[in-house]
Amino acid sequence: MFNKHIALTAAVLLVFTMCGKENGKTVREIKTKSGIEMVFIPGGEFMMGGDRAGETPVHRVGVGPFYIDKYEVTQEMYRMLDLSNPSHFKGEKKPVEQVAWMNAAIYCNERSIEEGLDPCYDENTWECNYSANGYRLPSEAEWEYAARAGSQGKYFFGDLKNMKNYAVYSQNTPGGTENAGSKKPNAWGLYDMYGNVAEWCNDFYSTVYYSRSSEFNPKGPGEGTARVIRGGSWNDPETVIYSGYRGFDESFNDTCLLRDTIGFRCVRRADK
C-alpha cells in the first residue's frame, strides 16, 4: 500500500514536471530517442506578421500540432551524429553556426535516420516531405507561432526592457554565441527563440507571400533564391529581434557565404 502510494505520487509529479498549461495551451516536453529535448506544441491560430515592410499584412494563420527543439541545435548534437561542425565559436553547448541551409536539412535527415524515422528532405531536390515523420526545419508560420507562445505583442516577454533577460544579442554579448539556454525561455519553454543564432526556416523568402499565403499550415512560396531566417542573432540590435521580424539569407550551399550568425532548430510532425 505504501509503495503504491509512492508510485502514484511519483507518477503525478512526473506529469506535472512534463506538462504545463501556458497561455491557454498545454505544452509537453519530451526526450527523443537521441536524448534531445523537444516541446510538443499544440495546434492553434495566431495573428502572423507585423507592421514593417515584408511583415504585412498581419493575417490569421492556423498551424497543426508539432514538436520543436527546446534549444537551438548545439555543436554537441552535431558531434553525436558525427557530422562536420563548421562553427566559428566552438563549444559543445553552443549552437552550431556557419550552417548553410542545405547542411541544416542534411542534419535533419541524419537525425531522422539515427532515430529510425523517415527523412523529410529529398537530397537531390531539397524538397521537404511534410508528411514524413522525421525531422525538418520549421515552416516560417510554425516558427513564429512557437516564438509567440500565445503572446500577441511585439515581444513574447512583454516590455522591451526585458530583452536582456531573454535574448543573446548585440547589447549583452562581447561578440559571439553563448551556450544554448543561457537566457530565460518563452512561455512554452523554448530557449533562444530570440537571439544567439538566427534560425533557418524551411520556407523560401518572399516579401509579398503574406498577401497570398494559405490560412492553414502555410509552407512558403514554391521557389525563391533565399530562405527565411528568424529570431535575430548575437550580432543583431534589438530593432530586428521580435516575433514578427523576417530575415532571409542566400547561403543555401555556398561556403563563401556562410555566416556565424545563423543556426537552426528542428521540428517534427505530431499527430495529436
Report yes or no: 160 and 116 within 8 Å, Cβ to Cβ: no
For the bound state, the minimum distance from the C-beta of residue 34 to another protein, rounded and expressed in Å, comes to 14
Backbone angles phi, psi at 76, to 5 degrees: -65, -40
Query: Least distance to another protein from the beta carbon of 89, Å?
Result: 9
Give yes or no for residue 72 binding another protein (CB under 8 A): no
Q: Identify the bridge partners of residue 168 per DSSP, sorted by sequence position.
A: 195
Q: Does 85 bind another protein (CB under 8 A)?
A: yes
Q: Should residue 91 be labelled a site residue for another protein when binding is judged by CB under 8 A?
A: no
In the bound state with another protein, the residue whose beta carbon lies nearer, of 17 and 84, is 84
Size of the site for another protein (CB under 8 A): 20
From the list 64-72, 152-160, 181-189, 250-258, the region that binds another protein by CB under 8 A is 250-258
x/- letters, 102..131, toward another protein (CB under 8 A): -x--x---x------------x--------
106, three cell numbers: 542534411
Would the CA dihedral through 235, 241, 243, 247 be positive or negative? negative
Q: Is residue 253 within the footprint of another protein (CB under 8 A)?
A: yes
Q: Say whether residue 223 binds another protein (CB under 8 A).
A: no
To the nearest whole angstrom, how small is the minimum distance from the Cβ of residue 3 to another protein? 45
CB of 119 to another protein, least distance (A): 10
Grouping H, G, I as helix, E, B as strand and the rest as coil, residue 24 is: coil
DSSP 189-206: S---SSBSSEEEEEEEP-
Residue 72: which of 88, 93, 51 has the closest Cα? Answer: 93
Q: By CB under 8 A, tell whether 90 contacts another protein.
A: yes
Stretch that binds another protein, among 18-26, 50-58, 64-72, 78-86 (CB under 8 A): 78-86
> Do 224 and 162 meet the contact criterion of CB atoms below 8 Å apart?
no
Binding of another protein at residue 77 (CB under 8 A)?
no
Which CB sits closer to another protein, 84 or 131?
A: 84
Contacts of residue 169, defined as CB under 8 A and 6 or more positions apart, other chains included, come to: 163, 194, 195, 232, 233, 234, 236, 237, 238, 241
Structure-block grid coordinates of residue 56: 504585412
Query: Does 81 contact another protein by CB under 8 A?
Result: yes
- Considering only residues 30, 83, 187, 240, which one is a binding residue for another protein as defined by CB under 8 A? 83
Q: Which of 46, 272, 49 is nearest to 145 (CA)?
A: 46
The helix/strand/coil state of 66 is: strand
Residues that bind another protein (CB under 8 A): 81-88, 90, 98, 103, 106, 110, 123, 253-256, 258, 260
